[in-house]
Structure 1
Amino acid sequence: MEYKDTLLMPKTEFPMRGNLPNREPEIQTMWDELDIYSKVQERTKDRPLYVLHDGPPYANGDIHIGHALNKILKDFIVRFKSMNGFCAPYVPGWDTHGLPIETALTKNKKVNRKEMSVAEFRKLCEEYAWEQLEGQREQFKRLGVRGDWDNPYVTLKPEYEAQQIKVFGEMAKKGYIYKGLKPVYWSPSSESALAEAEIEYKDKRSPSIYVGFKVVDGKGVLDEQTNIVIWTTTPWTIPANLGISVHPDFDYSVVEVNEDKYVVASDLLDSVKKEIGWENVNIVKKLKGFELENLKVKHPLYDRESLIMTGDHVTTEAGTGCVHTAPGHGEDDFIIGNKYGLGVLCPVDEKGYMTAEAPGFEGLFYDEANKPITEKLQEVGALLHLSFITHSYPHDWRTKKPTIFRATAQWFASIKDFRDQLLKEVEATQWVPAWGETRLYNMVRDRGDWCISRQRAWGVPIPVFYGENGDPIITDETIEHVSKLFREHGSNIWFEKEAKDLLPEGFAHSSSPNGLFTKETDIMDVWFDSGSSHQSVLEEREDLVRPADLYLEGSDQYRGWFNSSLSTSVAVTGKAPYKGVLSHGFVLDGEGRKMSKSVGNVVIPAKVMKQLGGDILRLWVASVDYQSDVRISDNILKQVAEVYRKIRNTYRFLLGNLADFNPEEHTVSYDKLREVDQYMLIKLNKLIGKVKNSYDSYDFMAIYHDVHNYCTIDLSSFYLDFAKDVLYIEAADNLERRSIQTVLFEALHALTKLMAPILPHTADEVWTHIPNVDRESVQLTDMPEEQQFANSAEMMAKWNSFMNLRDDVLKALEIARNEKVIGKSLTAHVTLYVNEEANQLLTSIDESLTQLFIVSGFNIGGSLEDAPSNAIKFDDVAIVVSKADGETCERCWTVTRTVGAVTEHPTLCERCATVVANHYA
Structure 2
Amino acid sequence: MTDYKKTLNLPQTSFPMRANLSQNEPKMLAFWEKINAYNAMIAPNAGAQTYVLHDGPPYANGHIHLGTALNKVLKDIIVKSRNMQGLRAEYVPGWDCHGLPIELKVEQEFKLKQKSVSTLEIRARCREYATKYLDIQREEFKRLGVLGVWDDPYLTMKPAYEAATARELAKFMAKGAVVRNKKPVHWCCSCETALAEAEVEYGEHGSPSIYVAFPVNDPRLAEVFPGQGEAVTSIVIWTTTPWTIPDNMAVAVHPEFAYALVQVKMAEGDARFILAEELVPRLKEVFGWDEVQVLASVLGQRLEGLQAAHPFYDRPSPVVLANYVTLEAGTGCVHTAPGHGRDDYETGLRYGLETLSPLDDRGCFYPQTELVGGLNVFKANPKVIEILEQNGRLLAQEKISHSYPHCWRCRKPVIFRATMQWFISMQADDLRGKALHEIDEKVRWIPAWGRERIHNMIANRPDWCISRQRNWGVPIVALICKECGHTYTDPDWVVSVVDRFAGHERGADYWFEAVLDEVVPAGLVCPDCASTSWEKEDDILDVWFDSGTSFAAVLEQRTECTFPADLYLEGSDQHRGWFHSSLLASVGTRGVAPYKAVLTHGYVVDANGRKMSKSVGNVIAPQEIIKQYGAEILRLWVASEDYQDDVRISTETLNRLVDAYRRIRNTCRFLLGNLSDFRPAEHAVDVDRLLPLDRFALDLFTRRHAKIAEAYERYEFHKVFHTLHNMCVTDLSAFYLDIVKDRLYVSAPDGLARRSAQTVLWRTLEMLLTDMAPVLSFTAEEVYQHLPEDVRGASPSVFGLRFQDPDMSATSGAPDESMAEEARQAWETVIRARAETTKAIEPVRKSGVVGHSLDTEVTLYVHDDLLDVLRPMAPMLREVFIVSKVEVRPESEATESRTSGGDAPDLFVSEEVDGLRIAVAPAPGTKCPRCWVYSEELAADDAETGEGVCPRCREALEGW
Q: Which of 649-658 and 763-772 deviates more?
A: 763-772
Equivalent of 1:877, from 916, 923, 937?
Answer: 916
Question: Separation in 1 of the partners of 2:93 and 2:147?
Answer: 9
1:482-561 paired onto structure 2 within 5 Å: 482-489=497-504, 490-503=507-520, 506=522, 508-509=524-525, 511=527, 516-561=533-578
Partner of 1:844: 872
Q: What are the Cα deviations for residues 673-698 of structure 1, in whole angstroms up to 9, with x where unaligned?
A: 11111111111221222111111111
Give the fraction of aligned pairs with identical amino acids, expressed as a percent: 45
Question: Separation in 2 of the partners of 1:608 and 1:480?
Answer: 48
Are residue 280 (structure 1) and residue 291 (structure 2) matched? yes
Is the CA contact 2:748–2:957 (under 8 Å) kept in the aligned structure 1? no
Are residue 140 (structure 1) and residue 153 (structure 2) matched? no
Q: Which of 599-608 and 555-564 deviates more?
A: 599-608
The amino acid across from 1:81 in the alignment is R
Q: Cα distance, 1:834 vs. partner?
A: 0.4
Q: What are the Cα deviations for residues 319-344 of structure 1, in whole angstroms up to 9, with x where unaligned?
A: 00000111111111111112111111
Are residue 178 (structure 1) and residue 179 (structure 2) matched? yes
Q: Cα distance, 1:791 vs. partner?
A: 3.6
Gaps of 5+ in 1: none
Question: Separation in 1 of the partners of 2:517 and 2:282?
Answer: 63
Question: Separation in 1 of the partners of 2:89 and 2:206?
Answer: 51
Pick closer, same or farther for the CA change 1:310–1:839 going to 2, 3 Å. Answer: same
Q: Secondary structure at the match of 1:548?
A: coil
Q: Cα distance, 1:823 vs. partner?
A: 3.2
Equivalent of 2:455, from 441, 464, 467?
Answer: 441
Q: Cα distance, 1:275 vs. partner?
A: 1.7
Partner of 1:890: 929
Partner of 2:631: 614
Partner of 2:494: 479
Question: Separation in 2 of the partners of 1:905 and 1:662?
Answer: 38
1:310-389 paired onto structure 2 within 5 Å: 310-356=321-367, 358-389=369-400
Is the CA contact 1:105–1:111 (under 8 Å) kept in the aligned structure 2? no
Question: Separation in 1 of the partners of 2:663 and 2:888?
Answer: 35
The amino acid across from 1:496 in the alignment is E
Equivalent of 1:420, from 414, 433, 455?
Answer: 433
Is the CA contact 2:871–2:888 (under 8 Å) kept in the aligned structure 1? no
Q: Which of 749-758 and 276-285 deviates more?
A: 276-285
The amino acid across from 2:920 in the alignment is V
Q: Secondary structure at the match of 1:204?
A: strand
Question: Separation in 2 of the partners of 1:196 and 1:917?
Answer: 79
Question: Separation in 1 of the partners of 2:608 and 2:602?
Answer: 16
Are residue 255 (structure 1) and residue 262 (structure 2) matched? yes
Is the CA contact 2:837–2:881 (under 8 Å) kept in the aligned structure 1? yes
Pick closer, same or farther for the CA change 1:917–1:209 going to 2, 3 Å. Answer: closer
Are residue 860 (structure 1) and residue 888 (structure 2) matched? yes
Q: Cα distance, 1:379 vs. partner?
A: 1.1
Partner of 2:301: 290
Equivalent of 1:785, from 802, 805, 809?
Answer: 805
Q: Which of 739-748 and 20-29 deviates more?
A: 20-29
Is the CA contact 2:66–2:621 (under 8 Å) kept in the aligned structure 1? yes
Question: Separation in 2 of the partners of 1:99 and 1:113?
Answer: 20
Equivalent of 2:792, from 773, 778, 785?
Answer: 773
Q: What are the Cα deviations for residues 690-749 of structure 1, in whole angstroms up to 9, with x where unaligned?
A: 111111111111111111111111111111001111111112012111100000000011
The amino acid across from 1:859 in the alignment is E
Q: Secondary structure at the match of 2:296?
A: strand
Question: Separation in 2 of the partners of 1:163 and 1:476?
Answer: 14
Equivalent pairs counted in the alignment come to 919
Partner of 1:809: 837
1:195-234 paired onto structure 2 within 5 Å: 195-219=196-220, 220=222, 221=224, 223=230, 225-234=232-241
Pick closer, same or farther for the CA change 1:334–1:917 going to 2, 3 Å. Answer: closer
Question: Separation in 1 of the partners of 2:693 and 2:4?
Answer: 29
Pick closer, same or farther for the CA change 1:32–1:664 going to 2, 3 Å. Answer: same
Question: Separation in 1 of the partners of 2:321 and 2:581?
Answer: 34
Question: Separation in 2 of the partners of 1:905 and 1:81?
Answer: 59
Partner of 2:824: 796
Q: What are the Cα deviations for residues 95-132 of structure 1, in whole angstroms up to 9, with x where unaligned?
A: 01111111212335756585221101110000000001
Equivalent of 1:666, from 650, 660, 683?
Answer: 683
Equivalent of 1:246, from 237, 253, 256?
Answer: 253
Are residue 649 (structure 1) and residue 656 (structure 2) matched? no
Q: CA RMSD in A?
A: 1.8
Pick closer, same or farther for the CA change 1:537–1:529 going to 2, 3 Å. Answer: same
Q: Cα distance, 1:476 vs. partner?
A: 2.9
Question: Separation in 2 of the partners of 1:612 and 1:56?
Answer: 27
Is the CA contact 2:943–2:949 (under 8 Å) kept in the aligned structure 1? no
The amino acid across from 2:179 in the alignment is Y
TM norm structure 2: 0.93
Partner of 1:456: 470
Question: Separation in 2 of the partners of 1:311 and 1:917?
Answer: 97
Question: Separation in 2 of the partners of 1:230 and 1:487?
Answer: 54
Question: Separation in 2 of the partners of 1:835 and 1:164?
Answer: 77
Q: Secondary structure at the match of 1:261?
A: strand
Gaps of 5+ in 2: 808-815, 898-905
Is the CA contact 2:235–2:275 (under 8 Å) kept in the aligned structure 1? yes
Q: Cα distance, 1:502 vs. partner?
A: 3.0
Are residue 162 (structure 1) and residue 181 (structure 2) matched? no
Is the CA contact 1:218–1:224 (under 8 Å) kept in the aligned structure 2? no
Is the CA contact 2:422–2:465 (under 8 Å) kept in the aligned structure 1? yes
Q: What are the Cα deviations for residues 152-192 of structure 1, in whole angstroms up to 9, with x where unaligned?
A: 00000000001001100000110111000111111101111
Pick closer, same or farther for the CA change 1:913–1:793 going to 2, 3 Å. Answer: closer
Q: Cα distance, 1:792 vs. partner?
A: 3.1
Q: Secondary structure at the match of 1:601?
A: coil
Is the CA contact 1:188–1:350 (under 8 Å) kept in the aligned structure 2? yes
Question: Separation in 1 of the partners of 2:714 and 2:573?
Answer: 22
Question: Separation in 1 of the partners of 2:929 and 2:178?
Answer: 88
Is the CA contact 1:193–1:455 (under 8 Å) kept in the aligned structure 2? yes
Q: Cα distance, 1:224 vs. partner?
A: 5.1
Q: Cα distance, 1:81 vs. partner?
A: 1.2
Q: What are the Cα deviations for residues 533-559 of structure 1, in whole angstroms up to 9, with x where unaligned?
A: 010111121221111111000000000
Is the CA contact 2:307–2:319 (under 8 Å) kept in the aligned structure 1? yes
Is the CA contact 2:79–2:91 (under 8 Å) kept in the aligned structure 1? yes
Q: Secondary structure at the match of 2:596?
A: strand
Question: Separation in 1 of the partners of 2:11 and 2:893?
Answer: 45
Q: Which runs of 4+ in 1 moved over 6 A?
A: none
Q: Cα distance, 1:6 vs. partner?
A: 1.5
Q: What are the Cα deviations for residues 51-85 of structure 1, in whole angstroms up to 9, with x where unaligned?
A: 11000000000000010111111111111111112
The amino acid across from 1:746 in the alignment is R
Question: Separation in 2 of the partners of 1:392 and 1:889?
Answer: 79
Is the CA contact 1:585–1:627 (under 8 Å) kept in the aligned structure 2? yes
Q: Secondary structure at the match of 2:712?
A: helix
Q: What are the Cα deviations for residues 275-320 of structure 1, in whole angstroms up to 9, with x where unaligned?
A: 2222121111111111111111121111111111111010111100
Is the CA contact 2:874–2:887 (under 8 Å) kept in the aligned structure 1? no
Q: Secondary structure at the match of 1:369?
A: helix
Q: Secondary structure at the match of 1:840?
A: helix
Is the CA contact 1:298–1:304 (under 8 Å) kept in the aligned structure 2? yes
Pick closer, same or farther for the CA change 1:309–1:594 going to 2, 3 Å. Answer: same
1:186-201 paired onto structure 2 within 5 Å: 186-201=187-202
Equivalent of 2:734, from 706, 717, 720?
Answer: 717
Is the CA contact 1:532–1:569 (under 8 Å) kept in the aligned structure 2? yes
Partner of 2:852: 824
Pick closer, same or farther for the CA change 1:900–1:894 going to 2, 3 Å. Answer: same
Q: Cα distance, 1:257 vs. partner?
A: 1.3
Q: Secondary structure at the match of 2:6?
A: helix
